[in-house]
């Protein structure tokens, strides 16, 4: 076996395995759902976007935070997002749009905002129709007016929303789709140029295959339409006629059914009918509770006073629709009004056209109180006046029985058009296909069918190809040079009006002496400009009590801004020219770097020769304080893994994501800070290769990081990103063993953690030095993977060390092994599915998957340090 090929093959396997784990995690979630469902979806992704914690709804479903499951965000595609969670109290005043269930309100409390095209990827375990449900509410945001943002939402093949906008901040918007997907599935958010996109929650959940069949009746001419399975569908209306709201809790497929009141065009002639829900029967081979729950079939609207006089009208429902689309119409019937067979016979009309003549439910189902449904497809050309009209009325030519008619439930479902869109005429590639509408429908069907088949066949090939290509083009695809987030810089008035603008222009004068300063500045998104007085108030005139850290550059204060946000303020010592350089470089660097796992710069102040940087506040302080040497509750192994993964992501981004590759140079547990949700963010990454060499500072940095220092760097004085990898390896052991990296009090061979840990590992005695608090909870497989990664990081020569991307893979794998281990522990959780997957992964982890190491010999040499160790923000 050629080493190279094996390597690539195994990384490919690793990719598949990790996906499988995700599916497993989610299927268990489905099994514990609140209601008694006969159908348990194989894929069940429920995501509360941008929320710091999971959301448990009244209906029993738990939406995971996308923080917990960042793997949904396909980092392989190099699309990064910024997160802004805005905890916000939607009072229950949003009742005008009844479609989303009130139990879903918690999902609207947070949103994820996308600054550029971004994508959620899902691994689909079982191809077939999936519910895709999207939740939107334009939460107030201090800088971005979400009611005015415009964006497009697509899947890989279909456009779901084109130039979508939620203008009204008094109602929530809920969109529900049914899409037939194969292996992999993505939801892509594309902000319109200069705008943003957002989403509050996403569901991707398997639907039973039997839910939508491939064929339906057409209305005119009365024929059969086939090929429905290749189309994407959007639910426009779902009515429980004559009944109440049905929430996801009372529906086997978590659907919401709303009362028909507003759509009943002739309420004077209609009268509700009820039956006991338990009395509803489902016929063999016909409707099932998944088609509609018995709460739908047990209520209906019938004709008023049909006993007393011969009614001469139709019951009519009218729903507004987009007339340029064709629709699937599903009518639910259940004869709950008749006393005997063949008593109720009526006609059904769709938009004035006869859909069913002389419908006799009792003869169709051979029973009363039995569910029955029928699907119709209505072509766009039959939709007049922009609405769909459903009518039921007595069949005048049949005189037997009572003159009555009923309808129990109604679903109106939009079918994608020739452009592959459910909203407008633009295809996923952005091309306008409006003129092709209608006539080429059949051709498109074939095209999509072929496309799906091809995707299925090429999936493996593509993944393999990607991974083979990875080492070469990873760097290229990670070019973020244009990725300057205008996060906070969009429209701050102080930019142009500030008195200090001349000072600031000299500040950046070397770069922008000629160009219009304020505009280029704000365009670059260098963050918000703070007035000195503003920061004086925020820190109570730089009160010593507010100091949370100090370093060579100055002090770090915790402060509260006017709007209540807590921030960390780093105030530079006055007067040093060198300080000004660092200040300038840090602003330029930081503003280029935005990542969920890097502490982000909110703004700065350079008034009155101040040099003040304003960062996001990291409530939980440095990682080290949570590992040893303080009174904090020790972290669990899973938490530690998640923190290491976060930090590794941050470093990976520094190495590969930013325009030129940035070496942190001071990776250590005090520079990994934790926010209020224990999300790890790397701080103090102000070292860039542009920075001028400052001898004094190199030595400061060396001193501060003793114990983490790459021996090769020491020898060759040449820095590569592999030096960070080395330091990160030390961090990994520090997290595992919970002791200082240098402890002079210990016997000589134990002083340096890196050496001691490697020595113990070689002797197979690593268990002895693991933090006793977690030692018993670690899965042996997870530990093995983790130590393997840490050990590789500490390789003597940089070329032998893996890149951060590979370290990340190994850590994620270790986390998945740990999760599988903890899920396995209670024996009653062992379902058949689980054992199968578990076995597979065990085999693979033991034999087939050596850890991946991609040799990356692009050496980036960096001249100097920018910041001495400072901003080691202490916990509260």
Ligand X SMILES: *[C@@H]1O[C@H](CO)[C@@H](O)[C@H](O)[C@H]1NC(C)=O
Q: Which residues bind ligand X (CB under 6 A)?
A: 35-36, 38, 89, 91, 128-129, 140, 145, 147-148, 169, 180, 209, 229-230, 244, 249-250, 295, 312-314, 349, 352, 384-385, 391, 393, 449, 452
Residue ranges in 530-631 assigned as alpha helix (H): 532-538, 577-592, 624-627
Shortest distance, position 263 Cβ to ligand X, whole Å: 15
- CA–chain centroid gap for 78, Å, is 14
Shortest distance, position 88 Cβ to ligand X, whole Å: 8
Shortest distance, position 740 Cβ to ligand X, whole Å: 42
Spatial CB neighbours of 39, under 8 Å, sequence gap ≥ 6: 208, 252, 253, 290
Burial 587-621 (b: 16+ CB within 10 A, else e): bbbbbbbbbbbbbbbbbbbbbeebbbbbbbbbbbb
Which residue's Cβ lies closest to ligand X? 229
In the annotation, is 343 catalytic? no
Shortest distance, position 483 Cβ to ligand X, whole Å: 26
- Of residues 93 and 631, the one with the C-beta less far from ligand X: 93
Cα 820-824-825 angle, rounded to 5 deg: 125
SS3 696: helix
Cα 233-239-244 angle, rounded to 5 deg: 145
Question: Which residue is associated with the tokens 């409006």?
Answer: 434
Shortest distance, position 453 Cβ to ligand X, whole Å: 7
- Of residues 562 and 776, the one with the C-beta less far from ligand X: 562
Shortest distance, position 90 Cβ to ligand X, whole Å: 7
Cα 118-124-127 angle, rounded to 5 deg: 125
Q: Is the dihedral of CA 738, 740, 746, 748 positive or negative?
A: positive
Residue 240 backbone dihedrals phi, psi, to 5 degrees: -95, 95
Spatial CB neighbours of 618, under 8 Å, sequence gap ≥ 6: 568, 599, 673, 674, 675, 681, 683, 873
Q: Is 570 annotated as a binding residue?
A: yes
Distances (CA, A) of 256 to 174, 375, 538, 789: 11, 19, 47, 47
Contact 427, 159 (CB under 8 A): yes
Q: What is the CB-side half-sphere exposure of residue 714 using CA atoms within 13 A?
A: 13
Shortest distance, position 245 Cβ to ligand X, whole Å: 8
- Of residues 86 and 824, the one with the C-beta less far from ligand X: 86
- What is the distance between the alpha carbons of residues 125 and 104, in angstroms, rounded to a whole number? 26
Strands (E), 516-652: 528-529, 547-550, 554-560, 566-572, 601-605, 612-616
Query: What totals of helices (H) and strands (E) does the chain contain, helices first?
Result: 20, 33
Q: Is the dihedral of CA 650, 808, 52, 145 positive or negative?
A: positive
- Of residues 129 and 681, the one with the C-beta less far from ligand X: 129
Contact 831, 547 (CB under 8 A): no
- What is the distance between the alpha carbons of residues 566 and 562, in angstroms, rounded to a whole number? 9
* Structure tokens given for 417: 């058009």
Distances (CA, A) of 867 to 400, 671, 683, 688: 93, 12, 11, 10
Shortest distance, position 229 Cβ to ligand X, whole Å: 3
SS3 11: helix
Shortest distance, position 665 Cβ to ligand X, whole Å: 43
Q: Which of the following is catalytic: 43, 66, 251, 666?
A: 666
Catalytic residue positions, numbered: 666
Q: Where is the binding site for ATP, in residues?
A: 570
Q: Where is the binding site, in residues?
A: 570
């Amino acid at each position: 076996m050629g080493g190279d090929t094996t390597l690539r093959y195994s990384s490919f396997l690793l990719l598949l395995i990790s996906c499988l784990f995700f599916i497993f995690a989610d299927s268990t979630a489905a099994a514990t759902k609140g209601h008694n469902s006969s159908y348990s979806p194989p894929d069940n992704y429920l995501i509360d976007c941008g929320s710091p914690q999971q959301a448990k709804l009244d209906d029993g479903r738990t939406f995971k935070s996308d923080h917990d499951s960042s793997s949904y965000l396909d980092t392989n595609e190099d699309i990064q997002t910024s997160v802004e969670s805005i905890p916000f109290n939607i009072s229950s005043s949003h009742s005008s749009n009844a479609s989303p269930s009130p139990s879903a309100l918690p999902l609207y409390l947070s949103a994820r905002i996308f600054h550029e095209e971004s994508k959620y990827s899902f691994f689909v375990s079982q191809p077939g129709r999936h519910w895709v449900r999207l939740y939107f509410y334009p939460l107030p945001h201090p800088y971005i007016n979400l009611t005015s943002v415009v964006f497009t939402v697509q899947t890989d093949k279909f456009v779901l929303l084109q130039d979508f906008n939620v203008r009204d901040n008094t109602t929530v918007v809920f969109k529900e789709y049914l899409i037939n997907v194969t292996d992999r599935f993505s939801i892509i958010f594309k902000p319109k140029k200069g705008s943003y996109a957002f989403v509050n929650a996403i569901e991707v959940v398997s639907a039973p295959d039997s839910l939508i069949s491939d064929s339906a009746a057409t209305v005119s001419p009365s024929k059969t339409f086939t090929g429905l399975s290749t189309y994407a569908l959007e639910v426009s209306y779902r009515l429980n006629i004559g009944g109440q709201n049905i929430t996801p809790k009372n529906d086997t497929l978590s659907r919401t059914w709303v009362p028909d009141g507003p759509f009943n065009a002739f309420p004077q002639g209609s009268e509700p009918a009820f039956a006991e829900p338990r009395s509803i029967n489902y016929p063999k081979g016909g409707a099932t509770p998944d088609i509609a729950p018995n709460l739908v079939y047990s209520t209906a609207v019938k004709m008023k006073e049909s006993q007393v006089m011969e009614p001469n009208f139709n019951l009519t429902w009218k729903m507004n629709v987009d007339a340029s689309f064709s629709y699937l119409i599903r009518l639910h019937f259940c004869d709950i009004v008749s006393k005997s067979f063949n008593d109720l016979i009526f006609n059904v009309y769709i938009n004035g056209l006869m859909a069913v003549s002389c419908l006799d439910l009792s003869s169709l189902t051979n029973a009363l109180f039995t569910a029955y449904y029928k699907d119709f497809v209505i072509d766009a050309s039959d939709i007049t006046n922009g609405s769909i009209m459903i009518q039921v009325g007595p069949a005048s030519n049949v005189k037997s029985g009572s003159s009555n008619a009923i309808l129990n439930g109604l679903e109106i479902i939009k079918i994608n058009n020739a452009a592959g869109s459910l909203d407008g005429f633009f295809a996923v590639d952005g091309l306008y296909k409006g003129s092709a509408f209608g006539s080429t429908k059949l051709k498109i069907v074939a095209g999509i069918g072929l496309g799906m088949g091809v995707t299925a066949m090429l999936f493996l090939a593509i993944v393999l190809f990607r991974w083979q290509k990875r080492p070469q083009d990873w760097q290229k695809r990670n070019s973020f040079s244009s990725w300057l987030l205008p996060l906070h810089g969009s429209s701050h008035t102080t930019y142009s009006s500030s008195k200090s603008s001349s000072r600031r222009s000299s500040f950046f004068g070397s770069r922008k002496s000629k160009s219009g300063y304020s505009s280029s500045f704000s365009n670059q998104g260098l963050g918000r400009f703070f007035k000195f007085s503003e920061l004086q108030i925020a820190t109570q005139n730089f009160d010593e009590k507010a100091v949370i850290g100090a370093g060579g550059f100055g002090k770090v204060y915790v402060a509260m801004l006017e709007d209540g946000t807590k921030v960390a303020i780093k105030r530079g010592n006055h007067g040093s020219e060198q300080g000004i350089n660092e200040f300038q470089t840090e602003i330029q660097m930081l503003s280029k770097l935005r990542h969920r796992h890097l502490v982000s710069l909110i703004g700065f102040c350079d008034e009155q020769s101040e040099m003040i940087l304003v960062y996001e506040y990291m409530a939980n302080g440095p990682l080290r304080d949570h590992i040893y040497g303080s009174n904090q509750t020790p972290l669990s192994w899973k938490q530690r893994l998640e923190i290491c993964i976060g930090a590794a992501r941050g470093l990976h981004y520094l190495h590969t994501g930013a325009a030129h590759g940035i070496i942190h140079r001071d990776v250590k547990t005090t520079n990994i800070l934790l926010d209020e949700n224990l999300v790890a963010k790397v701080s103090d990454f102000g070292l860039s290769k542009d920075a001028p060499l400052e001898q004094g500072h190199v030595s400061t940095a060396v001193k501060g990081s003793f114990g983490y220092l790459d021996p090769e760097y020491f020898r060759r004085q040449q820095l590569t990103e592999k030096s960070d990898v080395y330091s990160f390896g030390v961090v990994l052991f520090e997290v595992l063993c919970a002791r200082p990296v240098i402890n002079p009090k210990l016997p000589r061979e134990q002083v340096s953690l890196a050496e001691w840990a490697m020595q113990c590992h070689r002797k197979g005695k690593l268990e002895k030095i693991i933090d006793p608090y977690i030692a018993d909870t670690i899965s042996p497989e997870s530990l093995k993977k983790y130590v393997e990664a840490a050990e590789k990081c500490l390789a003597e020569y940089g070329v032998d060390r893996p890149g951060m991307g590979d370290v990340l893979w190994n850590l994620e794998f270790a986390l998945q092994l740990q999760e599988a281990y903890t899920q396995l522990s209670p024996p009653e959780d062992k379902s058949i599915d689980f054992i199968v997957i578990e076995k597979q992964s065990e085999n693979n982890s033991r034999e087939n998957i050596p850890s991946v190491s991609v040799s990356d010999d692009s050496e980036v040499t960096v001249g100097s340090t920018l910041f001495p160790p400072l901003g080691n923000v202490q916990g509260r």
